[in-house]
Amino acid sequence: MEDCIFCKIIKGDIPSFKVYEDDRVFAFEDINPISRGHTLVIPKAHAQDLWEIPEEDLAAVHKASKKIIAAIKKALNPSGVACLQLNGRGANQVVMHYHLHLIPRSGDEPELPVSSWELSQGDMEAIKETAAKIAAAIA
Ligand code: 5GP
Ligand code: ZN
């Protein structure tokens, strides 16, 4: 897609620090890293989000992420790696080309807000109703 930053990165029109590439997938370092080794894994074919990405590309991205997370462990020895993927402006997706964030964590960093929310028990009836509504909508 012409105006997409990540499509331009795949084509080499915008430089990037590539860590992995195969037929369907490209992976590179985030230029605003939350932590050392913050990596983005993307499909080569443009798709905006989880709604749009074809299953084969989705599988390829996640298969590649397993390889890359193994390399991150070997290279950087993090205490954990957060995998984060945002869909839609309402979820704070900024670049509208599907991407999986691999965010290495180490003990001395502040917690990621998205992984440290307060647990408070939900309304079981409401949860049950919502589950039934989603389940009924599955094609
Ligand atoms: P989102 O909020 O859409 O999940 O995250 C988009 C990510 O893309 C951000 O973490 C941002 O730093 C990264 N990003 C945006 N523009 C560029 C770029 O030109 N090059 C690289 N390597 N990363 C980018
Ligand atoms: Zn794109």
Torsion, Cα of 125, 128, 133, 139 (10° steps) = 180
Q: Per the domain annotation, does 127 fall within a domain?
A: no
Q: Which residues contact 67 (CB under 8 A, 6 or more apart)?
A: 20
Q: Per the domain annotation, does 57 fall within a domain?
A: yes
Q: Per the domain annotation, does 45 fall within a domain?
A: yes
Q: From ligand 2's centre to the CA of 105, what distance in Å? A: 28
51-81 pLDDT, tens digit each: 999 999 999 999 999 999 999 999 999 999 9
CATH number of the domain residue 31 falls in: 3.30.428.10
Instruction: Name the nearest CA neighbour of 90 among 126, 38, 49.
Output: 49
Which ligand 1 atom is nearest residue 92's CA? 2
Which ligand 1 atom is nearest residue 94's CA? 3
The answer to whether the CB of 14 is under 6 A from ligand 1 is yes
The answer to whether the CB of 95 is under 6 A from ligand 1 is yes
Average pLDDT over residues 12-37: 97
38 is known as an active-site residue: no
Instruction: Name the nearest CA neighbour of 7 among 23, 26, 22.
Output: 26
The answer to whether the CB of 85 is under 6 A from ligand 1 is no
Into how many domains does the chain fold?
A: 1
pTM of the model: 0.95
Task: Provide the domain limits for residue 77.
Answer: 5-109
